[in-house]
Amino acid sequence: MDPNNITCIQRIRFFFHFFEKREWKPGEVPPLQRIVKEKKINPQEVRNLKNFLNWRLERIAGMMEVLFAIHNDWAVNAKKDFIQMETQSLDFNDALNVLKEHGFTDDEFILKVEYERKWGVL
C-alpha cells in the first residue's frame, strides 16, 4: 500500500477454514464430507479426519506465525469453522509474497481485499 495514497484505506482479511481447503484436487474428497455423507462410518474415516485436521491446523498456525512476524497490527477472530485475520495497515501483496516464500499456497486460505474511500473520487 502506498503510504502517500490517502484517498483510500485497504482492508485485508485472511480466512483460514478448519475443515476445508479452498480447492480440492480432482479425486480428493474432504474428510468431513466422507463422514457426514456416509451411511456407515468406520474408524478409519474418523482417523483420516483427525489426520487432516492435525495437518490443517498446523498449516493455519504456520500461516498466522508468518503474518505476525511481518506485521503486528492484526485483529484476529475465531469462529466456529475458521479463523479470520484482518488489518488495514499492510499491503496484501506483501502478505501474499511472504506466505508464498514460506511454502504456503493460494488454496490454503481465502483473501478478501476491500477499499474504503476516505475522500474524493477514486
pTM of the model: 0.82
Paired strand residues for 77: 84
Model confidence pLDDT, tens digit, residues 68-88: 999 999 999 999 999 999 999
* Under 8 Å between Cβ of 83 and 64: yes
Q: Where are the domains of the chain?
A: 8-117
Per-residue DSSP letters for the chain?
Answer: --TT--SEEEEEEEEEESS--S-PPTT---HHHHHHH-SS--HHHHHHHHHHHHHHHHHHHHHHHHHHHH----EEEE-SSEEEEEESSS-HHHHHHHHHHTT--GGG-EEEEEEEE-SS--
- Assign a CATH topology to domain 8-117: Alpha-Beta Plaits (3.30.70)
pLDDT in tens, 41-56: 889 888 988 998 999 9
**What tens digit of pLDDT does each residue of 86-118 get?**
999 999 999 999 999 999 998 899 999 998 877
